[in-house]
Structure 1
Amino acid sequence: MDNAEGSVVKGHSRTRSAAKAARPLSVARGPLDVDDIPPLGSQAQAQAQTPPHSHPPRTPRPTTPLGRESPVPYSPGGRSPRPAPPPIDLSHLLRPDVYHALPTQHIPAPFRTSPAQPPIATPLPTLLAQGHYRLAAAAAARALTSGAVAPSDAPAVYDLLYTRLACLTLLGPAGTAMAAQEARALGDADLGRGQKKAGADDQGVAAAAAAAVPWALRLLHVRLQALGFGDPRRAVMSYFEMARECRARIAAAAAAAAARRAKEGAGAEEAEEAETVWRERLADLGLRVAGVLIEMEDLEGAACHLASLREGDGGDGGGRLALARALLWLHLGDVEAARGCVQPGQRGDRVVAALCDMADGEYGAALEKWRHVQAAAAAGGDSEMAGVNLAVCLLYVGKMQEGKAQLEKLVDEGYASHTLLFNLSTMYELCSDQAKTLKLRLAERVAGMAPTPSGWEKTNADFKL
């Protein structure tokens, strides 16, 4: 092929463009791997060893009246400078027809008539702080459609949209389905706007950062888009695309930190913190992919994927992500792999050990572990998770009444999560013929609680009504 290209072209054969670069060979590793990012020293050496004559002669740059060179707009390939980008227009996210009215028939009567219900004019931050997520979702939609937010104010629009969608997902399956429909308004053009415009100069980078969709909203949108189209594979592909971006950001942050350290200038620590954030995001994406594979019932693929993830990729000392990894292994039924995710003395080691005992059917041993976990958690002011699992173990060892009393004690202490209320309602159904009356009384007790950020208003499904 090389000899043919160097010879004289005869007849009507077409010559290949010399400016077209050859496509680099694909590597075997995937975008979720962190350890194969090229080291910074090799890049610096390659730049230093480049011969000077390989660059085209530089044209003298114009000077300002002060004698300093004025910045030249970036124009790759010698092309003319790109025109200024048009102003951002997010009016398609401000249309009233995008957002649905929120029904109230699934809310128990004690909550609808409770004096704790805030007035409709309550500010959105107050609603979020008090856990009124249904009213917060409605307030976010009103703010988006009232005309008070400019279509060009991307940060404000994205913040309100994220609040709307996140609050809907906290309302249960019905709210999640509604959020999946509304999330379709956020199109691919919106998601790629910030990445496409990042580059030329400081002003362009700042404009792109302002236009970019926040990371939390992108993660939520991927999840809702997969639910809306009924295709979890879309989530896997989107997570891998986001992982490629993470790898690029990690390399850029590492290069910036190295350059600033070499110049002994300020900003190296900031670049290192940015690198840590992107590494944690990359590790989180790896676990999200495993979760989607489990939902797709591709258990073999999920197990292989989990086994391929490196332990230290998260950058958080193996805490939250290690615990999440252990829970995924338990979901797959591999108890030994779950035990190996958390080392003794590490955060969550007792929790994983107790869950593994429950998975093995050793409820007596798990019961003692949960007692120790609950005692330790009570000192920190949060013993609900341990208390609920303790009550479940009591049920399986034949102490149903003691388990019911344990759950009622948690309610008296002010806890009211969906898991707690659902399990207590199940206990009522198992222990009494007056289960419906007991569940209605439970709803009245919870409605009389003070609002908290964990969520105040409940649904009929929480009480199995």
Structure 2
Amino acid sequence: MLGKLLRGERLLGTAPMKGACSKGIGVFDQTPSLFYPYSQNNNGIMDRSKQRLTNRITALPRRPTRGPLDINDSPLNSPLSPTNYINATQTRTLSPGGPAPRSRTPRLPSPIPGSNLSANTFMTAPTSLSPSQNTSFQSTVSTLQKDFTYLLRPEIYHPLPVLEIPPPFRSSPASSLPPNPDVNTLSSLLAAGYFRAAAILSATLLTSSPGPSSHDEIFNLFYIRLACLTLCDQTQLAAQEVKALEDLNAAYYRDDETDTHMVGWELRVLAVRLQGMGLGDARRGVMGYYDLARDARSMLTKLKKRKAAGDDLDGEIELWEKRLADLGIRVASALIEMEDLVGAGMHLKTLKVSEEGDEELRAKKALLWLCLGDIDAARECLKKANGGGFKASEMDGTIRALAFVAEGKYEEAVVIWEELIANEETVAGKGEKAMWRQNLGVTLLYLGRGDEARTILESLVAEDNSFHALTFNLSTIYELCTERSRTLKVALAEKVAGMVDIGENEGVVRGWEKVNGDFKL
């Protein structure tokens, strides 16, 4: 500091100084950026001839000065400091012909999501303090465990309201949990379709003592919690609870050694939509999908390079290609949800699906075109034969029938539904057949044949089908066909609540979680 004063330099937090000392070597002019050197005689008086010469000197920009925080002034850069000794030793032993190779700088723990620590608390460690070739140091860093216990705080999880639950489901066997529930109990509830009870149990397992130990268990239970809340019509609660994750793109969620993301793909995809809803910004969801698409492309690039080197990675490559295509569909769906129909249409045109490509992807794209009202574009998604006609696949038949319904051609749609149902060689499962019959009943209702529609839908309920569209449409028919619709709707809710799986899991309740809106109560 004394040397700074003798040179007349500015110190941190001080104003420019004039005449720092009587024996000084120079002074600052009124303008702090100008400095005039001169010689001084024994009497301390400037020589006049040199003063005239000095007056003619043009102003030069002030040279930058170094303060106490500059790296060269740091005692760590002293030739005697241990850090420089380590770096010098590594330079001589590891790279005698040049400087040591650069490698990934080890980082101090990044801020834990949900913590109250500022970002300045966690700074990137200087390279000189973290020798990259020190194996003992690397082993120490690799053993550091990231802490995700902030997801185990009970205050994150909200109690589920019961006002929207129909009375028959409040007393359902699935509404009460076993005395000592565990992960196996959670799996049984999920298989039975009781998502409300599964949501409650997953939160209980997260907040219990002892809780889950590994990050895989924590993220898996957290995903089950959010997914079940969405499925039991508690999406707003899920949008609030997902805020605990904060930014999933943060470096804290990546493995320090492999740089792979530590959160499962399904949770990352679900969190994008829920975080956009929770913050009231739908565009955030679209941007989140694009962030995931960037990661998917990066992973595909790495896998294809490894495949070129001889690794058998066809299964993983196919998986990531499907994930990337699914993100494209989700972006279009999000744009439709934002009512940006023009943008959704432009985006759908960029999604290329080959005629021999994924049939499910083609069906999703066609359904989105129907949502936009572009029936011709929806038909273009159908698989065509060599002669230009449409192939009679079951998925394409479903899209064709829906297109006729959208055009108001109900008679043509009825013919297609009946053909699909009567096909004895079909490979469709019980759920798909029930969907065709339900759509046939709705189409008949549009034609004014309400009695036939009611008979079809009631027969589906008698066969232990209880999906949302079925109960809602049957409740609508009750409202249109009778004045005592409420009695019939309550009876329907009681019947659905009493459904029991008599197959492989005998005695396990199979009815899905319902709310009053499912029965129009």
Asked if Structure 1 and Structure 2 have the same fold, meaning a TM-score greater than 0.5 normalized by the shorter chain, the answer is yes
Equivalent runs, 1:270-281 vs 2, <5 Å: 271-281=313-323
Counterpart CA distance in 2 for 1:215 and 1:362 is 41
Percent of matched pairs sharing the same residue: 43
Asked if 2 retains the 8 angstrom alpha-carbon contact of 1:291 and 1:302, the reply is yes
Which string of whole-angstrom CA distances, capped at 9 and with x for unpartnered residues, describes residues 196-239 of structure 1?
Answer: 63xxxxxx22xx55x61100000110010111112110011111
Aligned to 2:157: 99
Q: Structure 1: where are the runs of 5+ without partners? A: 1-9, 15-56, 62-71, 198-203, 261-266
1:130 to 192, 209, 225: 192
- The amino acid across from 1:75 in the alignment is S
Counterpart CA distance in 2 for 1:95 and 1:391 is 48
Counterpart CA distance in 1 for 2:297 and 2:516 is 44
Counterpart CA distance in 2 for 1:246 and 1:108 is 42
Q: 1:13 to 1:352 in 2, by over 3 A?
A: farther
Q: 1:378, CA displacement in angstroms?
A: 8.7
Q: 1:195, CA displacement in angstroms?
A: 3.9
Q: Structure 2: where are the runs of 5+ without partners? A: 1-59, 65-90, 106-126, 384-390, 502-507
Aligned to 1:185: 244
1:322 to 346, 359, 362: 362
Asked if 1 retains the 8 angstrom alpha-carbon contact of 2:394 and 2:420, the reply is no
Aligned to 1:427: 477
Which string of whole-angstrom CA distances, capped at 9 and with x for unpartnered residues, describes residues 382-432 of structure 1?
Answer: 322111111111011110110011100100111001110000000000000
Which string of whole-angstrom CA distances, capped at 9 and with x for unpartnered residues, describes residues 334-377 of structure 1?
Answer: 10110111212456100110011011110000011111223346
The secondary structure found in structure 2 opposite 1:348 is helix
Counterpart CA distance in 1 for 2:251 and 2:353 is 31
Aligned to 1:248: 298
Asked if 1 retains the 8 angstrom alpha-carbon contact of 2:200 and 2:225, the reply is yes
2:415 to 365, 368, 371: 368
Counterpart CA distance in 2 for 1:342 and 1:219 is 28
Number of positions where the alignment pairs a residue of Structure 1 with one of Structure 2: 382
Aligned to 1:352: 399
Aligned to 2:9: none
Larger radius of gyration: 2
Counterpart CA distance in 2 for 1:339 and 1:453 is 40
Counterpart CA distance in 1 for 2:489 and 2:462 is 15
Counterpart CA distance in 2 for 1:136 and 1:169 is 12
Counterpart CA distance in 1 for 2:354 and 2:510 is 31
Normalised by the size of structure 1, how large is the TM-score? 0.76
2:221 is equivalent to residue 160 of structure 1: yes
Counterpart CA distance in 2 for 1:454 and 1:259 is 49
Equivalent runs, 1:37-436 vs 2, <5 Å: 75-76=103-104, 80-81=131-132, 84=141, 86-115=144-173, 117-121=175-179, 122=181, 123-150=185-212, 153-172=214-233, 175-188=234-247, 192-195=251-254, 197=256, 204-205=257-258, 209=260, 212-260=262-310, 267-268=311-312, 271-312=313-354, 317-343=357-383, 344-346=391-393, 348-376=395-423, 380-382=429-431, 383-436=433-486
Which string of whole-angstrom CA distances, capped at 9 and with x for unpartnered residues, describes residues 267-314 of structure 1?
Answer: 41xx2211111111111111111111111111111111100111149x
Q: 1:73, CA displacement in angstroms?
A: 11
The secondary structure found in structure 1 opposite 2:162 is coil
CA RMSD of aligned residues (A): 2.8
Q: 1:11, CA displacement in angstroms?
A: 7.1
Counterpart CA distance in 2 for 1:170 and 1:229 is 20
2:502 is equivalent to residue 462 of structure 1: no
- The amino acid across from 1:92 in the alignment is Y
- The amino acid across from 2:514 in the alignment is K
Counterpart CA distance in 1 for 2:250 and 2:463 is 44
Aligned to 1:69: none
Q: 1:60 to 1:346 in 2, by over 3 A?
A: farther
- The amino acid across from 1:288 in the alignment is R
Higher relative contact order, structure no. (Cα contacts within 8 Å, ≥ 6 residues apart): 1
- The amino acid across from 1:102 in the alignment is L
Q: 1:115 to 1:231 in 2, by over 3 A?
A: closer
